[in-house]
Chains A and B, each alone.
Chain A
Amino acid sequence: MSSERKGSILQFATFQSSVDEGFWHGLCSLKLNKLKTDESPISITGFYTPCSNPHVSNHLNLLAESLPTEPSDELQTAATCGNRNKCSVPGTLYNTNTYEGYQSLDKKSLLKAEGKKIWDDIRSGKVEEDSSVLLRFLIISFADLKRFHFNYSVAFPALALDPPATLVDLKPASEWFTAEEVESVSACCNEWRMSCLTADVPFFLICISSNSHATIRPLKDFKACQHEDHKILFAFYDPYHGPSNPGWPLRNYLVFIYVRWNITKVPFLCYRENRGFADMGSSLVGEAIIEPSQGQDEMHVPQVIGWEVNGKKKVSRHIDLSTSMDPTRMVISAA
């Protein structure tokens, strides 16, 4: 990979989805009991967490609880504590009644509409209050309830900078920081990840004072800490594990930082963990350079990309759950 080279185009590793069986079971009962033939889009929630192992990336997980819950479930309101292993990502599900409907969905427009939401939240400043809206996702599906077959496609909308950002430098955080800074940054990241209030907040600022003392501040404090004599790093939970590229969430983050705060030299930290604790050896620090785009006015929504492709470069995926969902089989196993 050539991305470490000075001035090369900053390339982002794509986000990947992982849909568990419970999601499809939940979708079936939602469709049978509530949606019926209604094809309106549904707001759902995906979950992700920073990379936690040097060998594998983490994914956006879609689980049974990703779907809207029944009003009877009182636990949802009680859960005020963020789960460090399940950072919420807002998403939209388009489930069609027929396979033909699924095929004829205009994937480009749907992606563009989802990207527009991100763009609007960047411009309105909503991102500063709730940074998870930088990470939206989109899933379109056709659930064949007779055969228990599911066709689906997932997208992680990303606003594309034009021209693309370039990378000045990218190396492990442990090499970029001094030994004192490594210790202090690790300590405050672990604290951020252990705290109920911040554990599931994926974008944040790391401020390092001249005496190597690091503190973490939420995005909304940027204006305040900008005037302090601190080095500021724009940090995010990176689901990707590789040593040569940052993960997908940095894309919209850079657009936000550039559009909202007009910063063109962006020092960033890809925050990664090992066994649940900050790992400065696998976390990366780099600097992205953003060139102002030519002849585009402020109102223009950038190009949106992000449909996930599988190993064969196909967007649509298919899963057959008839063995676990077919009622006759379920009766047998429940007997």
Chain B
Amino acid sequence: MVLSQKLHEAFKGTVERITSPRTVSAFKEKGVLSVNEFVIAGDNLVSKCPTWSWESGDPNKRKSYLPSDKQFLITRNVPCMRRVASIQEEYEAAGGEILLDDEDNDGWLATHGKPKDTKGDEEENVPSIETLEISKKNTIQSIPSYFGTEEEDDIPDMEEIDESDNLVEEDPATLQPTYLVAHEPDDDNILRTRTYDVSITYDKYYQTPRVWLTGYDESRMLLDPELVLEDVSQDHARKTVTIEDHPHLSGKHASVHPCKHAAVMKKLIEPLIAGGLEPQVDKYLFLFLKFVATVIPTIEYDYTMDFDLGSSST
């Protein structure tokens, strides 16, 4: 981790320890969530999109300001059929006009699909950790592959042992995976079957939800966080999305940095208020996940597309 980022993490940690969590609602004014509102919004997400559930996580990492059985939200085994680069190529080939259907027209949706040379105008709208004065370069540590490369592995290969055990059972009632019988999968087939565990934690410092990604390759082995960045919109990959310790789970995970979440949420809520709707805090996470989908457009987690944030829907 870069020194300035580490210093900021230490500062943030101290502030989190000595300040009490937000209790007064300010999501309409500031786009932030109180702890209570996070739980309300999380309960609503779990009931509308049941692939999400609350987790209690590691007892040693439990946050006292959240209910012990509602520490964070998670949805597991979310498919990610293709790499972001492939849709960005398609998009740029199509003239760089529309990437996602952009009903909101808020600017931030459209910008990340723009051709690279127009990057200048996205800075104010796209969440970015640049405001933390973190060097744009090298914010991501280079992490070597999780999977033992042959040369550094002094453990003998198991292959012969397995075969001598004859454990690969010949059983007529076992379906052989099709790619084994047909042909070895080419790269494309492997890439299509990545899966993700997506989790949402409450960030006490920024008073917003925060999204974390744990990737798995086609054989359900942990994906190097560096490779996770292939599934992040390229304009966010090395700025907004960083690799850090998860507050409740073990290990390093890719995370959408929350420093601009409140500002973006405020921008999304304002037009609703202007349109005469009364935004409801329990729908905050649907709107939030819709925004996160622009950062990780190919990870197909569940959130209701056709919702109405205002009270008129109830």
Contacts and interface: CB of A to CB of B under 8 A. Distances in A.
B302 A314 contact: no
Interface stretch (B29-37, B246-254, B277-285): B246-254
A145 interface: no
B272 interface: no
A79 B251 CA distance: 26
A178 interface: no
Nearest to B78: A53
B159 interface: yes
Contacts of B143: 323
Chain A interface category by residue count: 35 or more
B158 interface: yes
A69 B143 CA distance: 31
A255 to B, nearest CB: 11
A128 to B, nearest CB: 24
A26 B177 CA distance: 32
Nearest to A305: B169
A58 B167 CA distance: 24
B175 A276 contact: no
Given A64-B58, A315-B162, A52 B173 contact: no
B155 interface: yes
B159 A58 contact: no
Given A315-B168, A319-B147, A99 B155 contact: yes
B51 A316 contact: no
Nearest to B162: A315
Contact of B175 (A14, A59, A311): A14
B76 A13 contact: no
Contacts of A58: 76-77
Nearest to A60: B220
Given A22-B58, A151-B155, A151-B158, A79 B69 contact: yes
B23 interface: no
Interface string A50-83: 0011011011010010000110110100110001
A278 B180 CA distance: 31
Interface of B: 1, 6, 10, 49-53, 56, 58-59, 68-69, 75-79, 81, 143-148, 153, 155, 158-159, 161-162, 165, 167-169, 171-175, 177-180, 185, 193, 195, 197, 214, 216, 218-222, 245, 249-252, 300, 302
Interface of A: 1, 3, 9-14, 16-22, 24-26, 49, 52-53, 55-56, 58-59, 61, 64, 69-70, 72-73, 75, 78-79, 83-86, 99, 103, 107-108, 149, 151, 160-161, 164-165, 193-194, 245, 251, 275-277, 305-307, 309-311, 313-321, 323-325, 332-335
